[in-house]
Chain A
Amino acid sequence: MIKFEHFSFKYTAQADYTLRDINLTINDGEKVLIIGPSGCGKSTLLNCINGLVPFSYDGTIEGSLTVDGKETKDLSIFELSKIVGTVLQDSDAQFVGLTVAEDIAFALENDCIPTEELKRRVKEIAKLVNIESHLEHAPTDISGGQKQRVSLAGVMIDDVKVLLFDEPLANLDPETGKTAIELIDSIHKDTGVTEIIIEHRLEDVLWRDVDRIVLMGDGKIVLDTTPDELLSSDALIKHGIREPLYITALKYAGVEITPSMLPHSIDTITLTDEDIAKVKEWYLKTETEKEEEKEVLLQVRDIDFTYKNDRNGASVHHALDHISFDVMKGELLAIVGRNGAGKSTFSKALCGFERIDSGKFIFKGEDMAPLSIKERADRIGYVMQNPNQMISKVQIFDEVALGLRTRNVPEDEVERRVNDTLKICGLWEFRNWPVSALSYGQKKRVTIASILVLEPEMIILDEPTAGQDYYHYTEIMNFLEEINSRGVTIVLITHDMHLMLEYATRGIVFADSKVIKDSTSYDILTDRDVISRASLKETSLYNLALKCGLNDTKGFVEHFISFERRVRND
């Protein structure tokens, strides 16, 4: 179906080749996963298949790429789009219609198909992806997972032979992500279409079988093999991809992973008695850390808030239902739950962006009710998910200084404080660079620095690692841990289970506008009831423990986390 032969590509604006001597054959009806760290060229590879390269991105192509037997150089992007359908990562950008139905019909409208037939086909395809009850909905009225299904329907309506998925899990919570992977799999089985998925969240994609995994690194194909072979090698770690947690745990325990064990899923992997003995032994000898007692920094008491959308107050949404919990001084706390559970509303209420109906925020014994947004910001900093939404200055120094200057701090003090902060954040050597020259992770540091400079005792970060590969994820989180160790209390709002498990000491679980659990992260991720109510995903460590006959699943996860922290800090 798709064949790369000695294929290389260089963007006009860049000095080096982004893809180098690619040889790859994908057969008709295969389901292939392409993984690799950011910047390895996997997105470029995808854009070569769908024709955006060279149609929209100029550059030099060498070698050959055929799709369905035809050389892509000889096809227009429109001809290619009849064979290859692409589901982009940004489903908001892909949703160009005013309603679900119009968006699904978009491709056929452009083919001048008569209106009556459009309606018939839209109904047909909408049923296939299970969105037919939302045909008249506007994009603002449906969830991220539903938008993705609309995108899928919008490309499937063209009867394409190949489906490309660009990081389909990036913006979804764990439960929705699971459903997405299931849908992608069932479409593959039902229609026999060829599927290519790009993702770096390996464990989540492997929730359903894939035929092959192609590992890319630095513009080249490093490995092209079966999931079992790949997981038995050490290529993943070397190329900055996170292994499934159960694999990591087995390796810590000294178990050797071989393809014959079928390690691609926790359900299929077979362990010998000897392996199980090793895991048990490792479990027993790993020590856990004792948490020391901490004093309370913020008391959240009985917060209640209702959105009144309409002018007439017609549509209301009870977004926070009597929320109470404590935040301890110096801790790293995670607030988790599905999209729309009330996490973001909570942080907005805390920062004073929304006026709560009742309840109290008590910060170091002081009721925050009379404080303005600005005054609250001096105590609790808020960092948005996307750094590009916060940066408004050209120079890094000015960006970090902005908050101080608006507070009329004398310029010599501004200089001192900004320089100190830049040093802490590892940005000192870039101080005279324009912000735009930085990588995404560095920009994230700049936005955190611009909050830290105001010396808040606590900062809240909204999805700090969303869309980041393992390398950048680790970079951002290690930085946050370092700030945390300097005494700044950190609250993470996230739906990334790994993040909570590995870094947070404690988690607050939101579901349906309420707090349903307030406990340690290993306790939360082994509690089946909480997991299903909050649309979280249980960690595969839990199943591994069961498989090894360890009934204390909670203890097993706790031991793993302690071990992992020690490994990381060495």
Chain B
Amino acid sequence: MKKNVVKSIVAIGIGAALFFVLGRFVAIPSPVPNTNISTQYGLLAFLACVYGPVVGALAGLIGHALIDFSYGWGIWWSWVIASAVFGLLVGLFSLKKKTVASLNISQVIAHAIAWIGVAPVLDIVMYAEPVDKIFLQGAVAAVANIVTTAIIATLLLLAYNATKPKAGSLKKEK
């Protein structure tokens, strides 16, 4: 087996653990009462950008499924899959370019597809909920996630890039 496979497996496991902890315990109060801001998508976008689409998709899938399990309200498969799709898309878009700009463009597209396209499906199929309510919820989620991802994923990527110094670029100043 190629060596990258094991690293990807570990990245999925640790990525899912981070996703879980951020999604489950890191509550940043938002201006809307009773809703918290999900920081985990900023993390997922960053991981997908660094480790690729497979890690992005599976870390999102496992992390989100574990969150649902821990709340005990049943697994909301379509939302779980939407997290996976988001990780997958950002990973795919980032295969060639890993810049702040490309990451942000891809996260906007991926969030739109995931929350307005994928996530509502099960609510419609399973609960036969009104379509306009579902899409409005999806749109609100997409916008909120785009804003948080833009800040968090960008800062993470900048910090990560800075850990790889360019040789010969540093001089002591007097």
Contacts and interface: CB of A to CB of B under 8 A. Distances in A.
Do A and B have CB atoms closer than 8 angstroms in the complex? yes
Interface of A: 55-56, 392, 394, 429-437
A437 B169 CA distance: 10
B174 A434 contact: no
Contacts of B170: 433, 437
23 contacts: A55-B3, A56-B3, A392-B159, A394-B158, A394-B159, A394-B162, A429-B172, A429-B173, A429-B174, A430-B172, A431-B173, A432-B173, A433-B170, A434-B162, A434-B163, A434-B165, A435-B162, A436-B162, A436-B163, A436-B164, A436-B165, A437-B165, A437-B170
Contacts of B172: 429-430
Contacts of A56: 3
Interface residues of B, number: 11
A436 B159 CA distance: 9
A416 B170 CA distance: 24
Interface of B: 3, 158-159, 162-165, 170, 172-174
A434 B3 CA distance: 31
Nearest to A93: B10
Nearest to B172: A429
A437 B172 CA distance: 12
A36 B159 CA distance: 32
Interface of B is mostly: loop
A245 B33 CA distance: 63
B146 to A, nearest CB: 23
Contacts, number: 23
B155 to A, nearest CB: 9
A143 B162 CA distance: 35
A392 B3 CA distance: 31
Contacts of B159: 392, 394
Given A429-B174, A436-B162, A436-B163, 4 more contacts: A434-B162, A434-B163, A435-B162, A437-B165
Contacts of A430: 172
A235 to B, nearest CB: 32
Contacts of B174: 429
Nearest to B165: A437
Nearest to A435: B162
Nearest to A56: B3
Contacts of A429: 172-174
Contacts of A437: 165, 170
A392 B162 CA distance: 11
B149 to A, nearest CB: 18
B159 to A, nearest CB: 6
Contacts of B173: 429, 431-432
Nearest to A14: B167
Contacts of B158: 394
B125 to A, nearest CB: 35
A484 B172 CA distance: 27
A484 B165 CA distance: 33
In the A-B complex, the 6 residue pairs with the smallest Cβ-Cβ separation, listed nearest first, are A429-B172, A436-B163, A394-B162, A434-B162, A437-B165, A436-B162
B12 to A, nearest CB: 13
Contacts of B165: 434, 436-437
Contacts of A55: 3
Nearest to A392: B159
A3 B174 CA distance: 49
Contacts of B3: 55-56
B167 to A, nearest CB: 8
A522 B164 CA distance: 45
Contacts of A436: 162-165
A394 B173 CA distance: 18
A431 to B, nearest CB: 7
Contacts of A434: 162-163, 165
A436 B164 CA distance: 8
Contacts of B164: 436
Contacts of B162: 394, 434-436
A392 B163 CA distance: 11
A559 to B, nearest CB: 42
Contacts of A394: 158-159, 162
A92 B173 CA distance: 40
B19 to A, nearest CB: 19
A55 B165 CA distance: 24
A435 B173 CA distance: 15
Nearest to B13: A96
Contacts of A431: 173
B7 to A, nearest CB: 9
Nearest to B163: A436
A64 to B, nearest CB: 23
Nearest to B167: A15
Nearest to B6: A56
B43 to A, nearest CB: 15
B62 to A, nearest CB: 15
A435 B165 CA distance: 10
Nearest to A436: B163
A435 B162 CA distance: 8
A229 to B, nearest CB: 41
A156 to B, nearest CB: 22
A508 B115 CA distance: 57
A392 B152 CA distance: 12
A15 to B, nearest CB: 8
A49 B95 CA distance: 35
Contacts of A435: 162
A493 B126 CA distance: 57
Nearest to B169: A437
Contacts of A433: 170
A93 to B, nearest CB: 10
A529 B163 CA distance: 48
Nearest to B161: A394
A434 B173 CA distance: 13
A491 B100 CA distance: 42
A104 B172 CA distance: 49
Nearest to A393: B159
B100 to A, nearest CB: 13
